């Protein structure tokens, strides 16, 4: 399985991202950055359901 986002964004407390929405909006842009990190490929063994991770 390949991670499409850096690990730090996977957990709210490590993402350092905040958004304040004060009313209806049609536009929201959250920019993510690898900042020198590289995508990882995770090898799963056995009968593992990747959607359950």
Q: Which residues pair with 2 in a beta bridge?
A: 41
Cβ proximity of 53 and 7 under 8 Å: no
Indicate the pTM of the whole model. 0.46
Residue 32: in which H helix or E strand, if any?
A: none
The percentage of residues in the chain with a pLDDT greater than 90, rounded to a whole number, is: 13
**Which band of pLDDT confidence, cut at 50, 70 and 90, is reported for residue 4?**
confident
What's the gap between Cα 33 and its chain centre?
10
> Can you give the pLDDT at residue 53?
57
């Amino acid at each position: 399985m390949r991670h499409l986002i850096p690990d730090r964004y996977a957990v709210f407390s490590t993402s350092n991202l905040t958004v304040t929405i004060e009313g209806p909006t049609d536009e929201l842009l959250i920019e993510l950055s690898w900042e020198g990190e590289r995508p990882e490929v995770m090898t799963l063994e056995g009968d593992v359901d990747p959607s359950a991770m």
